[in-house]
């Protein structure tokens, strides 16, 4: 069934009547201040022109494999690269794998074991094309920022 929409002039008239019927909200001084603070906070939170801020705390963790989670923060499909956070729970294992593309990561929390090789908090790790990573573990848990080829897990952005 097709519902006929009112003409634009009729819509404007209805909106005008509704607006005339509404009274402005009476706000206490503390409510006014709270409203002003929220508006100013949003204005102050606008990033500089041609930049983008990802509020990582608003992104959900997506499962990769048992005990391993990711938050994809940026995807650049033009060059096939993504930047993501990975959380590796204690006892979790990322199976050994080969690298068809370069991969870079920075350990933000904890330490990661690549076989017997330890990459600790603040360490930067780089895998060249053709490199083979042994099983990756984080005995005490870890959070890693990874720049790599686009993978098929997690929620990618722009």
Alpha helices in the chain (DSSP H): 8-21, 29-44
Ordered structural domains, the chain, with CATH? 8-44 (no CATH), 56-149 (2.60.120.10)
Structure tokens at 54: 């990802």
The pLDDT value recorded for residue 129 is 95
This model's pTM is above 0.85:
no
**Residue closest to 144 by CA, chosen among 129, 130, 127, 157:** 127
The pLDDT value recorded for residue 25 is 82
Helix H or strand E segment including 111? strand 103-114
Residues 6+ apart with CB under 8 A from 153: 62, 63, 64, 70, 72
Average of per-residue pLDDT values in the chain: 88
Determine the average pLDDT of the residues in 13-19: 81
Taking each continuous run of H as one helix and of E as one strand, the counts in the chain are: 2, 11
Q: Which residue's structure tokens are 């993504």?
A: 82
Residue-wise pLDDT for 80-98, tens only, equals 999 999 999 999 999 999 9
Residue-wise pLDDT for 24-76, tens only, equals 888 899 998 998 888 887 777 788 889 988 989 999 999 999 999 999 999 99
**Residue closest to 105 by CA, chosen among 63, 153, 143, 158:** 143
Report which of residues 23 and 137 the model is more confident about.
137
């Amino acid at each position: 069934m097709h519902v006929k929409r009112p003409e634009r002039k009729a819509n404007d008239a209805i909106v005008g009547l509704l607006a005339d019927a509404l009274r402005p909200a009476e706000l206490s001084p503390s409510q006014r201040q709270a409203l002003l603070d929220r508006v100013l906070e949003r204005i102050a939170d606008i990033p500089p022109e041609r930049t983008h801020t990802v509020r990582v705390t608003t992104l959900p963790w997506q499962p990769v494999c048992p005990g391993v989670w990711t938050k994809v923060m940026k995807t650049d499909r033009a060059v096939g690269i993504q930047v993501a956070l990975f959380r590796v729970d204690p006892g979790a294992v990322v199976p050994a794998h080969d690298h068809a593309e370069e991969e870079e990561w920075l350990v933000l929390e904890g330490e990661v074991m690549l076989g017997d090789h330890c990459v600790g908090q603040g360490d930067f790790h780089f895998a060249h094309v053709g490199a083979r990573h042994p099983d990756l573990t984080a005995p005490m848990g870890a959070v890693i920022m990874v720049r790599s080829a686009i993978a098929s897990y997690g929620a990618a952005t722009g």
